Amino acid sequence: MSKHAKSPNGIFHPLSAPDFLPLPQLRDLQLQRLTAIVQRAYDRVALFRKRMDDRSLTPQDVRSLDDIVKLPFAEKADLRDTYPFGLFASPMKEIVRLHASSGTTGKPIVVAYTQEDVQVWANVMLRAFAACGLHAGDIIQNAYGYGLFTGGLGAHYGAEALGATVIPISGGNTPRQLMLMKDFGTTAICCTPSYFLHLIDQAAELGVNLKELPLRAGIFGAEPWTEAMRRRIEADSGIKAYDIYGLSEIIGPGVAMECECQSGAHIFEDYFYPEIINLKTGKPCPDGEEGELVLTTLSKKAMPMIRYRTRDITALTSEACECGRTLRRIKRIGRRADDMFIIRGVNVYPSQVETALLKVEGVLPHYQIVLTREKDLDVMEVQVEVTSEFFTDTVGALEQLQGRLSRSIESMVGVRANIRLVQPRTITRSEGKAKRVIDQRKI
Ligand code: DLL
C-alpha cells in the first residue's frame, strides 16, 4: 500500500483496502465477477438472454475482460420498456429496496436492491467518504434528498458504515440547514453543488460565516459542475469540494469518487467495470480519449446491468494517482450526450457556457439558458446573476460586462448569446439538481 494511502490526519479505513489492490489481482477479481454476472443475467433476465441468443452468444464466450465488447449494450429505454420490474434478476422476496428516478416520459425508471446489494452500496459509499479524508468522528450533514432519489439513503448508509455521525436532514429548508450546521458542528456536507451555492448565499444573508465553522469538506454530485465552479465554491466557503459520481441504474451515488488529490474520480472498479466508447460507432476509445461511459455492475444481484450506456461523457485514465489507489479515474463529467442542445447548427453544452461565464469577474455562479425561436431563427439568452455592486454601477459598466460575457461565450462555443444580467438571487434555486436549460422553441 502506498505511503499516500492515509489521509493527512493519518486515518486509513480497513474497508478501503480494495482501492489499493495490485492490478493483476484486481483484474482477476473483475473477470471472476464478470463471468458470474453475465451468467446470472443470462439465466434470469429475459431481455438480456434474448439479445445474447440473437447474437449466438453464450455466457461461456466471455473468457477475458476484453471479451466484454462482444456483449450487447443496455440503455435507459430498456428500463422504460420493461417497467416496472422486467429487468429484475431476483425474486421479489429477496428485494429489500426500490428506488426510482424520474424519466422524461412520465413513468419513472425503477431500480432494485437485495440485502447484499445494499451492503455493497454502503461499502462503496464508505470508501467514497474515506477517499476524501472523512472518518469516524466526522459529522456528515446529508442534504441529498431522502426518498425515491438514491442520493439521500445512499450517502446515509455509507456514512453510518464509516462510523461517522449522520444528520439526515435531506434537501431544502436552508436556514435550518445553516442553524444545524452551526449548532451541531457539521464537518462535511453532502448535496448538489448548485444547492451548496445557494447555502453559501443564504449564509451570507443570515450572517453565518462558513469559514469560521468546522465544515471542511463537501461531497458534491448528481449534476454536472465545472472546475471553475469548484474554485468558486472553495474560495467562497473555505471548504474542499469533492466530486462524487453515480447513477440509479448502476447503484446510485458511489460509482466513483475523488480522493484528496482532486484529480478525477476513482471508479470502484471491483464492483463497476468501466468502458469508454465512441458515441457514434460504439467502439472502445483508448485511454485518455473522451467518449461515452459504459458501466457493467460486477456484483449486482437484484438488477445486473451489463454494458449500460450512461450517456455521460468523460475519459478514463489509468495513470497512477498520487494517493496510491490502483482504481482508474474518470475525468469530471461536464456533460451528457443528451444535455447537448443545438443552436443555429452548433452543438452546445451547458457546461461550456458555465465555464465561459465564470471566467468573467463580477459574475455569480447562478445562470440559466433560455432558448427561443424568433422568425425561424434560434435565439440563446443567457441569464446570469452579477454582484450587487454592478447594479449600482453605471449603465456603461453594465454594458461593458455584457460585452465581455458575450465575447467569452462566443469564443468558447462559437455562437452569440444575448446576455441578460440579473440581480443576485433572481434565478430560481433548486434543492436538488439544477435546471440549466429552458428550451421554449417549438420544433
Ligand atoms: O444522481 C446519483 C447521485 C446522487 C450521484 C448523489 C451523486 C450524488 P440519478 O438521479 O440516476 O442518480 O442521476 C444520474 O446524474 O448519469 C449523470 O448524468 C448525473 N451525475 C451524477 N453525478 C454526477 C457528477 C444520481 N458528479 C445522472 N458529475 C448521471 C456530473 C453527474 N454528472
Is residue 334 within 8 Å of residue 223, measured between CB atoms? no
Which residue type, as a one-letter code, is found at position 260? E
Residues 320 and 347 grouped into a single domain: no
Comparing CA positions, the residue from 268, 291, 267 lying closest to residue 281 is 291
Task: For residue 42, report the phi and psi dihedrals to the nearest 5 degrees.
Answer: -65, -45
Query: Does one domain contain both 3 and 95?
Result: yes
How many whole angstroms from 293 Cα to the centroid of ligand 1?
Answer: 13
The enclosing domain of 432 has a CATH number of 3.30.300.30
Q: Which residue among 283, 313, 338 closes a domain?
A: 338
CA 3 vs CA 7, 14, 100, 192, 423: distances in Å: 10, 15, 41, 32, 49
pLDDT given for residue 390 in this prediction: 79
CA of residue 7 to ligand 1 center, whole Å: 25
pLDDT of residue 1: 43
Which of 319, 338, 357 marks a domain boundary?
Answer: 338
Rounded CA gap, 246 and 190, in Å? 14
Q: For residues 301 and 269, state if they share a domain.
A: yes
Whether residues 411 and 316 share a domain: the answer is no
Hey, how many other C-beta atoms are within 10 angstroms of the C-beta on 45? 23
| pLDDT number for residue 4 | 47
Report helix, strand or coil for 236: helix
Same domain, 291 and 167: yes
Say whether both 223 and 255 belong to one domain: yes
Domain count, the chain: 2
Q: Which residues of 130-163 are buried (b: 16+ CB within 10 A; e: fewer)?
A: bbbbbbeebbbbbbbbbebbbbbbbbbbbbbbbe
| Residue 336 pLDDT | 86
How far apart (Å, rounded) are the C-alpha atoms in residues 304 and 288? Answer: 27
Closest residue by CA, ligand 1 atom 6: 151
Boundaries of domain holding 435 = 341-439
User: Are 253 and 154 in the same domain?
Assistant: yes
Distance 187 CA to ligand 1 centre (A): 23
Asked if residue 307 and residue 346 are part of one domain, the reply reads no
Give the CATH number, domain containing residue 234.
3.40.50.12780
Residues 197, 290 within the same domain = yes
Cell numbers that stand for 356 in this block: 465561459
Q: 101: CA distance to ligand 1 center in Å?
A: 11
Q: Tens-of-pLDDT digits for all 443 residues of the chain?
A: 444 455 555 567 999 999 999 999 999 999 999 999 999 999 999 999 999 999 999 999 999 999 999 999 999 999 999 999 999 999 999 999 999 987 656 788 999 999 999 999 999 999 999 999 999 999 999 999 999 999 999 999 999 999 999 999 999 999 999 999 999 999 999 999 999 999 999 999 999 999 999 999 999 999 999 999 999 999 999 999 999 999 999 999 999 999 999 999 999 999 999 999 999 999 999 999 999 999 999 999 999 999 999 999 999 999 999 999 999 999 999 788 888 888 887 888 899 999 999 999 989 999 999 999 887 788 999 999 998 887 777 888 889 999 999 999 999 988 899 999 999 989 999 888 998 999 898 65
Rounded Cα distance between 309 and 41, Å, is 17
Instruction: Give the C-alpha separation, 139 to 361, whole Å.
Output: 35
Q: Are residues 351 and 288 in the same domain?
A: no
Q: Are residues 214 and 356 in the same domain?
A: no
Asked if 5 contacts 12 with a C-beta cutoff of 8 angstroms, the reply is: yes
Are residue 347 and residue 363 in the same domain, yes or no? yes
Q: Which residues line ligand 1 (CB under 6 A)?
A: 101, 144, 150-151, 221-224, 243-248, 252-253, 310, 312, 333, 336
DSSP string, 390-442: HHTS-HHHHHHHHHHHHHHHHHHHSS--EEEEE-TT-SPP-SSS---EEE---
**Residue that terminates a domain, selected from 338, 362, 380:** 338
Ligand 1 centre distance from Cα of residue 402 (Å): 32
* Phi, psi for 2 (deg, rounded to 5): -70, 155
256 CA: nearest ligand 1 atom: 26
Cα 419 to the chain's mean position, in Å?
28
Q: For residue 389, what is the enclosing H or E element?
A: helix 388-391
